[in-house]
Structure 1
Amino acid sequence: MLSIISTRDHEPRERLDFWNELIGSTYDGMSIDGVDGPFNASLGVWQSDAFRIVRPRSRPAMIVRHECGRTSSTKRTFLMHMTTQGQIEMEQRGRKSMLGPGDLVICAAEEYYRFNAATNHEMMVVEFDGATALDRLPTFEDHVARPIRAGLPGTRIIRRYMDSLWQEGREDLPPGQSTVHANILLDMTIACLSEPAGTLRPAADRTLAQLEDAIGARLDDYTLRPSSLAADLGIPLRTLQDVAARAGTTLNTMILRQRLQRGTQLLRKHSGASIADVADACGFSDPSYFARRFAQHFGISPSEYRSCN
């Protein structure tokens, strides 16, 4: 099930200490240093029988996992980090790289590594058993600390898959499905590691894919605006507007289209949910406005759409 923990309910002077205690209990040997200003963060955890997805979000910070945190000299664990917002410098085994939205990187959990986030940022983190990963891909170890870029088809697919899983996190998975999804996550990650860099999209197409993914990750956020997308991606607003224009649309239209499309999915899946609940889950604070835009876009009201599906 999905749980969300935040620093919001703690006094500002206590937040960093609280966060270090929380993160240290989640990942042994990890510590956080705030950069500038009051520290704020949240941590989403989706724990199932066979895997766990952790989704930390915070203000600028230095995240370090110390080698002394290893629990067993023989255990091997890999962590797949996918950046969903912000810009983060990553270092492990003497390798440094800058990660942007949609980029992923593999870390060796029992070794020292560091993330230096100079901006507000968010990541999705999945843990893989080392023996299983190496059995599936004997060269898995070679990919540690080598970033896999967002422009590759494999990284785009795994980002969307993880976002979809996250949307289901408020409900328990049916028996047996947890293991299936854990295996799929590992196989998709291996596919990303094995993908040739020559399949990268042109720069404009990569930015469009990043933009669509960033919108999809925040559809339930009432405050989502073109300016906040630019801040999340670390890309100038004018650049994003130009990318949308070349695709024959606008940023506001992209946001609206994805919200309405999410609405159709929720109307089909959750027959007992009210229209107001569906509107809220899609980022509409006013159910009447949601219903009006839905009818304009699909030519049918949300209630009528549900009855036909």
Structure 2
Amino acid sequence: MKRSNATAGSASVVPPAVTFDTRVVAPHERIDYWEEHCAERVVGLRCSCLSENGLTARYHYFDFGRIKMIDIAADEHFVERTPYLLRRREKDSAFLTLILSGKVFVNRAGQCAVAEAGDVVLYDTNHAYMHGFPAHGRQVIFEIPGDDFRDRFADWNLRELVHFGGSTNPGRIVPIALQNVLHSARTSNWSVENTAGLIEDEIWEVMETACSLVSGRTRSTYHAQTLRRVRRHIAENLHDPDLCPASIASTMGIGLRQLNRLFEDEPLSLMEFIVAKRLESARSDLLRYGSGASISDVSYRWGFKSLAHFSRKFRERFGVSPSRCR
């Protein structure tokens, strides 16, 4: 195992990574080595390959807090997560995966799909699947805790594979957005507080876009891009107590009626969406800082003008008071 760190005294371009590479062991030991360390950090799998030289593969594992990022590069191989491994190596996560190079054949729940460079595939680790990599390839997995996923998307079942083509409208908005997240992860200044939280926010924005596409609520690429811009503006201005539909429409140069229409088919209205995002951000702060967090400071930081209003909405949303969340 290797752990890379930024040079002392310099800003960290990426957070410290845990790296595993099968080339550090003999060819006949590589499959077992890969399975062992994938089970430790990524997910329990059974692996095979046809090369007489054994499996050549490596991954870089980045811990952003709730969200993890795993950058995997490997030669030809085949992996499967069998029903036995579902029981033996339990894992409750959603994998939002960007294919950077090569191809991957995905077999899951009776589906077989081919994902190419630039595509995104989304699936969970609670159901069996098989992946085949016919040649050298590279992928980046953003790992999302299953509980967090279900908390935000209660009606979205990931039993079936979700595939977004990198060259097909309007689905390609998801690969483009995920590439932007990857760029942010690589170029952010990790010496700045809450950088990981910002990356997490970007991942949730991508997931919201993906959910809108899968559910059929997004009608065109323009619709998806505009909705994403609005969500990004909201995320960047949640601290503003005066953030409201009228201010958003004015800032973004679109009509108020058009703005509200963007959210007509969404689970939440625009104002409900703003309140939900504020509550989620406040809850994250309370969980992160525990008893050291002032409830009033957290509520005002995320745009609530009244502590009583914040406490009432928080209990309605999460079933507990803010003080019980710390």
TM range (shorter): 0.5 to 0.7
Q: Are the aligned partners of 1:143 and 1:193 in contact in 2 as well (CA < 8 Å)?
A: no
Q: Are the aligned partners of 1:81 and 1:104 in contact in 2 as well (CA < 8 Å)?
A: yes
Are 2:118 and 1:98 equivalent residues in the alignment? no
SS of equivalent residue, structure 2 residue 47: strand
CA distance in 1, matches of 2:44, 2:82: 5
Task: Say which of 53, 60, 65 aligns to 2:69.
Answer: 53
Give the counterpart letter for 1:7 in structure 2. Answer: T
Cα offset, 1:157, TM superposition: 2.0
Unaligned runs of at least 5 residues, structure 2 = 1-15, 223-326
SS of equivalent residue, structure 2 residue 23: coil
CA distance in 2, matches of 1:46, 1:9: 20
CA distance in 1, matches of 2:91, 2:24: 36
Match of 1:83 in 2: 99
Match of 2:203 in 1: 185
* CA deviation string 1:66-88 (max 9, x = no partner): 23334699984211122111011
* CA deviation string 1:33-91 (max 9, x = no partner): 11334221111111122321001110010011223334699984211122111011001
SS of equivalent residue, structure 2 residue 163: coil
CA RMSD of aligned residues (A): 2.9
Counterparts of residues 137-286 of structure 1 (less than 5 Å): 137-141=153-157, 144-151=160-167, 152-168=172-188, 172=190, 174-195=192-213, 199=220
SS of equivalent residue, structure 1 residue 24: helix
Match of 1:16 in 2: 31
SS of equivalent residue, structure 1 residue 119: coil
Match of 1:246 in 2: none
Give the counterpart letter for 2:127 in structure 1. Answer: E
Cα offset, 1:146, TM superposition: 2.3
Q: Are the aligned partners of 2:80 and 2:130 in contact in 1 as well (CA < 8 Å)?
A: yes
Structure 1 residues 54 and 134: CA distance shift in structure 2, 3 A: same
Structure 1 residues 73 and 21: CA distance shift in structure 2, 3 A: closer
Q: Are the aligned partners of 1:32 and 1:64 in contact in 2 as well (CA < 8 Å)?
A: yes
Structure 1 residues 3 and 143: CA distance shift in structure 2, 3 A: same
CA distance in 2, matches of 1:149, 1:42: 26
Cα offset, 1:143, TM superposition: 7.5
Structure 1 residues 156 and 67: CA distance shift in structure 2, 3 A: same
CA distance in 2, matches of 1:194, 1:137: 11
CA distance in 2, matches of 1:73, 1:45: 19
Cα offset, 1:114, TM superposition: 1.1
Task: Say which of 20, 31, 34 aligns to 2:46.
Answer: 31
Relative to the length of structure 2, the TM-score reads: 0.54
Deviates more, 1:144-153 or 1:68-77: 68-77
CA distance in 1, matches of 2:122, 2:143: 10
CA distance in 2, matches of 1:105, 1:124: 11
Match of 2:302 in 1: none
Alignment length, in residue pairs? 199
Relative to the length of structure 1, the TM-score reads: 0.57
- Of structures 1 and 2, the larger Rg is shown by 2
CA distance in 2, matches of 1:187, 1:110: 23
Structure 1 residues 46 and 75: CA distance shift in structure 2, 3 A: closer
Structure 1 residues 132 and 50: CA distance shift in structure 2, 3 A: closer
Deviates more, 1:119-128 or 1:148-157: 148-157
* CA deviation string 1:214-255 (max 9, x = no partner): xxxxxxxxxxxxxxxxxxxxxxxxxxxxxxxxxxxxxxxxxx
Structure 1 residues 161 and 200: CA distance shift in structure 2, 3 A: same
CA distance in 2, matches of 1:35, 1:27: 23
CA distance in 2, matches of 1:173, 1:143: 38
CA distance in 2, matches of 1:9, 1:73: 25
Give the counterpart letter for 1:31 in structure 2. Answer: R
Cα offset, 1:142, TM superposition: 5.2
Match of 1:133 in 2: 149
Structure 1 residues 130 and 124: CA distance shift in structure 2, 3 A: same
SS of equivalent residue, structure 2 residue 162: coil
* CA deviation string 1:102-126 (max 9, x = no partner): 2111112121111111111111111
* CA deviation string 1:151-178 (max 9, x = no partner): 212311212321331345xx74533332
Match of 1:41 in 2: 57
* CA deviation string 1:4-43 (max 9, x = no partner): 2212222222222211211122234312111334221111
